[in-house]
Amino acid sequence: MTLQTTKTHVVHGGTLRYLKHDSAVTGTPMTLSVFTPPGEGPFPVLIWLSGLTCTEDNFTTKAGAYRAAAEHGLVVAAPDTSPRGEGVADDPAYDLGQGAGFYVDATEQPWAPHFRMESYVADELIALIDAAFPTTGARAVSGHSMGGHGALTLALRHPDLFKSVSAFAPIGSPTRCPWGEKAFAAYLGPDRAAWAEHDAALLLASGAARGVYDDILIDQGDADSFLTDQLKPELLQAAADAAGQTITLRMQPGYDHSYFFMASFIADHIAFHAERLKT
């Protein structure tokens, strides 16, 4: 399986590539961007998972991550948020279907054949990046909103794959918010026990991070229009407190849900991961 480069840019002394490949996991073409810092490497890797309606391009063009990534010597890989294309199930709503993969492996029709984003990231994407780029084999994961949910749950479900995890405005408990309830019912069916396996707050409460992650960095804007109904960071804090797990939840005054928020604090997250990836 090969990665095909579709375009290349030099940025902050490193190289940004837009790539595509045929995925054996999703059964569709998949797209992503990969930034490699200046130098020969090898480098640790940060996997970035984006939110609802996004492609690989939103973070790549808007987050302003590459100056810090170049300074700290990190590869940054940002995949698309779902399978796409002819014959791939979809929904007219923005919060289900293409652009809304939720980083789970769907078990229900019509989603199950292609919507396997957990396996895509954990099994295929990581192996592709390590094979195609000069990496150390150490990696971190971060993301925003739906992708923040993905970052937290994949890190908690696959602690052997990641040395650190952070998130911006994550969906903290998908089993207890409209976005998550809608997506999980569609992708995973009616059994809420199956949903719980992909709920970051419930995973934290169960002790899934204990002894694995010394800290989890979460930034949340207090002017985020989705804060109360969809994101519910207080559930993450309560779960961490109950489990004796350290998290750093920073409520940022005046910030909303946009990429302006991420661009304001992405350097902190890059530094957070760099410190842990190089030890």
Q: What positions carry a catalytic annotation?
A: 145, 224, 257
Rg (alpha carbons) of the chain, rounded to whole number = 17
Residues ≥6 apart with Cβ < 8 Å to 32: 18, 19, 20, 56, 77, 78, 79, 80, 125
Classified as helix, coil or strand, 131 is helix
Q: How many angstroms from the chain centroid is the CA of residue 240? A: 20
Vertex 252 angle, CA 249 and 256, to 5°: 115
Residues ≥6 apart with Cβ < 8 Å to 194: 107, 184, 188
Q: What letter represents residue 277's amino acid? A: L
Backbone φ and ψ for 276, nearest 5 degrees, come out as: -85, -25
Going by C-alpha positions, the residue among 20, 25, 16 that lies closest to residue 6 is 20
- Residue position matching structure tokens 């949910």: 149
CA distance 234 to 118: 25
Classified as helix, coil or strand, 197 is coil
Going by C-alpha positions, the residue among 277, 157, 149, 164 that lies closest to residue 217 is 164
